[in-house]
């Protein structure tokens, strides 16, 4: 299990994301600089214990209507070869030293653990407490056999699409929409989905769909 260090980060995660988010095609606030607050998230464990994996939910309050983003981040103790395009930035960690933060959708460790989470082989972990599961994160998988782990990520206006040569697609919702009063079930034709919770600016907790999986080609 990952150990959560309650220490300093320079710059902070929110400071890194303030400059990085506007460079993404799914960023919705135009040229405005985001004003970010942490709204929730969860962690996944790296089986080798080397890479930190966090699915961070942040709310941008810069515009007339708050916008909630899902940002998977990977924290590494050294640069990831071939992933310069996915680098969010570097931070100085009060315990671990220099850390390289990457967009987790382009990190094979994160993608592999995300697939394992949807398949039900691993459990989401609390964002702030060591060795504590996050029971608000739920997943379902109705496909046959294990999920592939060789997803390739591409960003578009709607979020991030992870695809495999076998035709499986995993759509990660980067802009989250609350659906607290509706049963969260997979979209038509989907073979899996991931749901989670976050906090609204007024303090109310809500939940919604984080990702949807199709095991074969989609129309």
Q: Which residues is 32 bridged to in the sheet?
A: none
Residue 8 pLDDT: 64
Question: What's the chain's length in residues?
Answer: 219
Q: Answer whether 0.95 is exceeded by the pTM.
A: no
Q: How far is CA 109 from the centre of its chain?
A: 13
Where residue 218 falls among pLDDT bands split at 50, 70, 90?
A: very low
Tens digit of each residue's pLDDT (9 = 90 or more) over 74-104:
999 999 999 999 999 999 876 666 899 999 9
Residue 79 pLDDT: 95
- Could you tell me the sign of the dihedral formed by the alpha carbons of 208, 210, 215, 216, in that order? positive
């Amino acid at each position: 299990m990952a150990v959560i260090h309650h220490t300093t980060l320079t710059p902070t995660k929110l400071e890194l994301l303030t400059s990085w988010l506007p460079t993404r095609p799914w960023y919705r606030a135009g040229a405005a600089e985001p004003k970010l607050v942490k709204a929730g998230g969860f962690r996944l464990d790296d089986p080798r214990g080397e890479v930190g994996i966090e699915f961070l939910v942040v709310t941008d309050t810069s515009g007339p209507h708050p916008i909630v983003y899902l940002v998977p981040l990977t924290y590494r103790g050294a640069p990831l070869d071939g992933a310069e395009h996915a680098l969010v930035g570097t931070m100085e960690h009060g315990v671990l030293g220099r850390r390289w933060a990457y967009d987790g959708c382009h990190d094979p460790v994160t993608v592999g653990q995300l697939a394992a989470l949807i398949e039900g082989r691993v459990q989401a972990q609390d964002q702030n407490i060591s060795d504590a599961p996050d029971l608000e994160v739920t997943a379902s998988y109705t496909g046959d056999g294990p999920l592939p782990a060789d997803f390739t990520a591409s960003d578009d206006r709607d979020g991030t699409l992870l695809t495999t040569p076998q035709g499986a697609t995993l759509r990660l919702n980067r802009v989250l929409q609350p659906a607290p009063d509706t049963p969260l079930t997979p979209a038509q034709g989907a073979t899996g989905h991931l749901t989670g919770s976050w906090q609204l600016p007024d303090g109310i907790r809500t939940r919604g769909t984080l990702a949807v999986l199709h095991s074969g080609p989609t129309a």
